[in-house]
Amino acid sequence: MKYLTEYRDGPKARALAEAIRRETTRPWAIMEVCGGQTHSIIRNGIDQILPEEIELIHGPGCPVCVTPLETIDKALAIAALPNVTFCSFGDMLRVPGSSHDLFTAKSRGADVRIVYSPLDAVRIAEREPERQVVFFAIGFETTAPANAMAAKLAKARNLPNFSLLVSHVLVPPAIDAIMQSPDNRVQAFLAAGHVCSVMGYWQYPPLAERHHVPIVVTGFEPLDLLRGILRAVRQLERGEAKVENAYERVVTFEGSRPAQEVIAEVFTTTDRSWRGIGTIPQSGWRLSDEYAAFDAERRFPVGDIATCESTLCRSGEVLQGAIKPHECPAFGKECTPRTPLGATMVSSEGACAAYYNYGRHETVKLQV
């Protein structure tokens, strides 16, 4: 497959791992921000071929994982209303709310539909004008342009029966929050390539400077990740703290102007609560006042929701890199993808699910 298989080449990957080994003189902790990168690292076993001095800390960049419990409960409340068709990406259906998940809501009769694009939800609203169609608009900067387009289209077509339940989150404020945490161990970041393909990386130099931390824009295939790690290690060894782009074939400094324009039109920055982490100031997007009519939280009565989080789940610490998934006492016991206590065990991008699905719990067991 063009642009994929050539970035999975075994000998080249091992040569890069060797280069990293040659340049590493002491332990370094590097955080990959994006859940897609976590998934690729574990699936391909990239951490297994790195020198043991290099620790990869799995970051909070899984949108499913950090969507606040309150928003999941709102989704469940809206989906259960009569005459509502609730559209979502498949990953969100198994994320536990306070009492159940969207799959269970569906089995109880709610009209919950998996869509692959927010524009599919707009089409459903056009096709079924008698139903209230709600799209669960979550994600980082990556999914924002498509979600913004859906809102724009619904406005242009004057669709009174379409709305969005928005819970967008942003990478730069999360990096800032991690670096400000007193327990922080992260010494360098691999910035998320997909997010940067939309936003560019002009937001990062002030962060790198303020926290004196190297930030390397990195892709998702094994060779991409290894190149990103190599460049981060090089900077760390030299005491540098620059922003570099190791994903040149996709990312430019400016990013996509048209995408950023549509985002600026439809969304506005807001404080956002991150599941397991807490509120990070100015770390999310909500619909702008101009699009308030399409806000599902205003359209449906979901103001007062009392949430109840599992007391066993330590996903917050996992998302901040304080513990590895299998170090949580509930991992693989009370909490499995089959019975997830936290969202990190659900999403294919969640660190706990990645560890579980690729058998890290088994590997750990085998070594005992």
Partner 1 sequence: MTGRNDSEGDRFPSTGVQCPLPLRDYPQIVLGHGGGGQLSDELVRHLFLPSFANDALQELGDASVVALGEQRIAFCTDSFVVQPRFFPGGNIGELAVNGTVNDLAMVGAEPKWLSAAFILEEGFSMDELARIVAAMADATARAGVDIVTGDTKVVPRGQGDGCYINTSGIGVVPKGIVLCPSRVQVGDAILLSGTIADHGMAIMSVREGLGFESEIASDTAALHELVATMLGVCPEIRAMRDPTRGGVAAALHEVAQAAQVGIEIDDAAVPIAPATASACEILGIDPLAVANEGKLIAFVPDEAASEVLEAMRAHPLGHNAARIGKVVADHRGMVVAKTAIGATRVITTQIGEALPRIC
Binding site for partner 1 (CB under 8 A): 1, 4, 8-10, 13-14, 42-46, 48-49, 90-91, 93-94, 96, 99-101, 103-104, 106-108, 114, 116, 222, 308, 310-311, 337-341, 348, 356-360, 362-363, 366
| Distance in Å, CB of 347 to partner 1, minimum | 10
Nearer to partner 1, 26 or 338 (CB): 338
| Distance in Å, CB of 119 to partner 1, minimum | 11
Nearer to partner 1, 45 or 278 (CB): 45
| Distance in Å, CB of 120 to partner 1, minimum | 8
> How many alpha carbons fall within 13 Å on the CB side of residue 49?
23
Nearer to partner 1, 206 or 359 (CB): 359
| Distance in Å, CB of 102 to partner 1, minimum | 11
| Distance in Å, CB of 63 to partner 1, minimum | 13
The first and second tokens of residue 299, run together, are: 């359209």
Nearer to partner 1, 118 or 173 (CB): 118
Euclidean distance between CA atoms 115 and 112, whole angstroms: 10
Nearer to partner 1, 1 or 156 (CB): 1
Q: Rounded to whole angstroms, what are the CA distances from 164 to 35, 85, 103, 122, 329?
A: 24, 12, 19, 10, 37
Nearer to partner 1, 124 or 232 (CB): 124
| Distance in Å, CB of 159 to partner 1, minimum | 20
